[in-house]
Amino acid sequence: LIFGVSKKGKEYSVTGVDNPEKIVQDFLTVLRGDKFNRKIQVEAKKYFIEGKSALAFHIPSVYPKDKPVYFNSLSNTFIRTGSGDQRATKEEIDALYRNSSFDKKDEEPTV
């Protein structure tokens, strides 16, 4: 996730963020708090570009055994589709739990 950069058409520009230290602290506090069902490891970096502060947060993908990850309730589970996210269906959530329990047996090669 990148804060303080905007895109218009194909052009990006640094818009900056006010009080970057507070934004980093607040963002990391939410991710490490009790809002998510799992603790989320995040790498935060602050950049100073064109006299403005921009923030970048790298959130690595979780291991299949740790899925699903959701916010507040299971109904807030999302699936990445292309470049967007969509709310997961009950069947997709069930598949995430199944894969986390059985180490993705459907992806193992057959002998």
Cα 24 from chain centroid? Answer: 15
Rg (CA), the chain: 18
Taking only the tens place, the pLDDT of each residue in 30-71 is 887 788 888 888 899 999 999 999 999 998 887 667 788 888
Confidence (pTM): 0.68
Biggest CA pair distance of the chain = 60
Taking only the tens place, the pLDDT of each residue in 66-89 is 788 888 888 888 887 877 888 888
Query: Residue 6: beta bridge partners?
Result: 13
Taking CB atoms within 8 Å and a gap of at least 24, the contacts of 28-34 are 31/59
Nearest-angstrom CA–CA distance, 34 and 41:
14
Query: Is the CB of residue 38 less than 8 Å from the CB of residue 32?
Result: no
Taking only the tens place, the pLDDT of each residue in 3-27 is 999 999 999 999 999 999 999 999 9
For residue 36, give the DSSP letter.
B
Starting at the earlier edge strand, list the strands of the sheet with 2-3: 2-3, 52-58, 43-49
